[in-house]
Structure 1
Amino acid sequence: MVELNRKRNNDAAISSQEKLIVKKQRFDSIVKEVAVLFNLNTSGSDIRITSDKQVLLLGRSSHCDIKFDSPDVSSKHCSIEITQIYTASVIRYNLTITDLSSNGTFINSVLLGRGNTHLLKSGDEITIAQSGNKYIFRYLSEVKGKNSNYIIGKKLGSGHYADVKEAINRVTGEVVAIKIFHPNNKNDYLKELKQELQVLMSISHPNIVKFHDTFTESLDNYTQTTCLVLEKVNGGELFQRIVDKQKLRENETIALFKQLLQGLGYLHSRNIIHRDLKPENILLEIKPRRSLSETQSGPWDSNELDVQVKIADFGLAKFIGEFNFTNTLCGTPAYVAPEVLQKTRKYNKAVDLWSLGVLLYVCLCGFPPFSEELGPPSMRQQILSGKFAFFSPYWDPISDFALDLITRLLVVDPTKRLDVNQTANHIWFTENKNENKISEATRQLSVTRLTKKDTVPLTLKERVETAMAIDNVEKDNNK
């Protein structure tokens, strides 16, 4: 019986391999034009590149596939290699050029250098030697579908419902991020999804991650994955900044939150609720400071010229379904408003202002206002009742104006919570602060500076280190 099963498995493996070979042969037997080198010279013609050769040699030698007469062109000057990529029933092509010469191959007027290889993008200008044999490279549309426009590279991150990968737009050469959602069932929500995407891609604000494009890929007759093409931001997450520093300076936090409120105000003005504001969804575009003589745009670190806030992952309930989205939120509810935990379907923009209050608390002291180690009661009950405190010594150096804003945001009744405009106009953000505008509730909290001797709150850094330690133990146990 065991031998019979082995034979069946071997037969299945052979059959699968045969299908792959047949499939590959079918692709390989179809000769396609995959790219063109458009001639920029006064004489000569365009060079059309087809899929029937894996490597094309360019040079003066009679053995080259593409021949040149210019004396400064080497006998084997450069090569163009075609790589075929098979995915499902689709074939794509990537082309690279390698300099083999002593007289130089130039890409966009920059010397490639002997032995070096360049991944070609549409619009690249290729110059063969100094004699001026110039061409513009263009991919042809070998596949129907927007996914062929992107060369997908390394993974940047992953989450509950999607992976994020770096990619290059083959037409423009722009580096982007592609959020690839985990496969879901094909159903009738596609029309609604497309409408929502049109709204998201119309968003244009300097403090919001830009949506460039979207496409779907069918994995089989029943499942598909949705891909979002996004602006790539270079400075990482606000979460990592807090972890690295343990907490942020107050003036630094003010500068970041002014930008954050501008972006959030823009979303709310277009009736878009984020619903998942947390440090992981706030990205930072950082412009490095090259010398101390450069004037910084704000109270940033000494090596930073400018830090720009970018809100990410807004409106994503549409892509993973309302049920899954709510369950994901409830899995990490530290930033979630009480009305969301109660699963009230009629919650509104006020949920974002609660999350903003939690985020502000975390930035200034390094740990969240609600957590299991601060219980009893449980974290859920702390949130539902709005039970939090400003513990000494962590909050001793922080101004009462910051405490006042937090207490006005972490209000259980959403109708009494500050909205985005009221928050932006709070006295904490003004230059000349008036002590008389501090609320009595805040005054009481700031005087008592509650201390809980048996409680030592875990900072974000300690939480990350603990999670990593647990993960390492689990990996060791599974070895």
Structure 2
Amino acid sequence: MMSRDTKTESQQSQGTSSSSSSSAPQSYSQSSSSGTLSSLDTVPVQDLASIPEDPEIDEDIPQPWGRLWALGKGFLNHDCLHEEYVFGRDKKCDYTFDIPVLNQTDRYKTYSKRHFRIFQELGHGHSRVAYIEDLSGNGTFVNKEIIGKGRTLPLTNNAEIALSLPTNKVFVFSDLSVDDQTIYPKDFIDKYIMSRPIGSGACGEVKLAFQKSVCKKVAVKIISKRKFKMNTSSNEHPISVDTEIEILKKLDHPCIIKIENFFDSEDFYYIVLELMEGGELFDRVVNSTRLREPIAKLYFYQMLLAVQYLHENGVIHRDLKPENVLLSSTSEECCIKITDFGQSKILGETSLMRTLCGTPTYLAPEVLNTAGTTGYSSAVDCWSLGVILFVW
């Protein structure tokens, strides 16, 4: 019954500011709010004369060869300057877990005194290679695969490290010797560090990224202009990325994804969205035998509130489906957010739409029957909601 146009591994909600002038916090703290977007904040502007020139890197100061971005509650970001680091509960570890907040979590007792080790060695061609060694019988995981006590694996760029359980992700490793950030626009990399892919679609992909100033996780929707043009060239009314951005900036509702930033390069569009870590409703439905009735009510009620808000503000989504509903967390009881406004339309009070668009399984009969001749209204979203409820 359901179809999938886009596979999204995860999207979870974080804070709501797009750019912050505050310095980076000492520790990463998971946000309890969920979503895929938040409203844009105003960035304070300094007098140009007061802004110092960018200092040159002092070659005498050691530069990190790797960086661990904290994913888990209570964990801290960590720069790898020395040849090796041991992580664990023991206070003698280079990175000890025995710190406030972290030692109060439920998982703390499952961490070993010496849980894992990260180090680098000389590889082929005089290049340095990063490795991770599992020192614990409780399990150290890289990209959801257990290493095994006493075993060592190469640690690749953007690898996820989890402890005790494959779902207990604590770090993302950035190999700083891999200079792959330069392929992105300068104004983007001034504010964000791009990480691994978390989803893909017909016109591009979605990647995890970190906002530098506050170390906040975000989702970056990367749209290839070439693929986008090919996919819309046969459409009498081609979809506009500008329209999607306009709609996202206009909307402000807890059950609708929010945009944090937007960048336009020669070949790509970069849409920065808040991150939803619970994944798609599609996956939640497929992986469950069936949704419990109270949970189905909770999700559907939030969807109704979101669509009501859209219609009150003259926006018709036109592509509502489980793949375009994101969950804030992996918990059963969580917030949802509607995303992907690529097919959406802004209407006046008496306007009708004629474009044949959307996913066939969820299309209202009038969209198919009129085939662009007489038109249809915002009621088509209500039909799609009914189909979504039916497949639960």
TM-score, L = length of structure 2: 0.49
Return the structure number with greater helix share: 1
**1 or 2 for the larger relative contact order (CA 8 Å, sep ≥6)?**
2
Q: For the pair shown, which has the larger CA radius of gyration, 1 or 2? A: 1
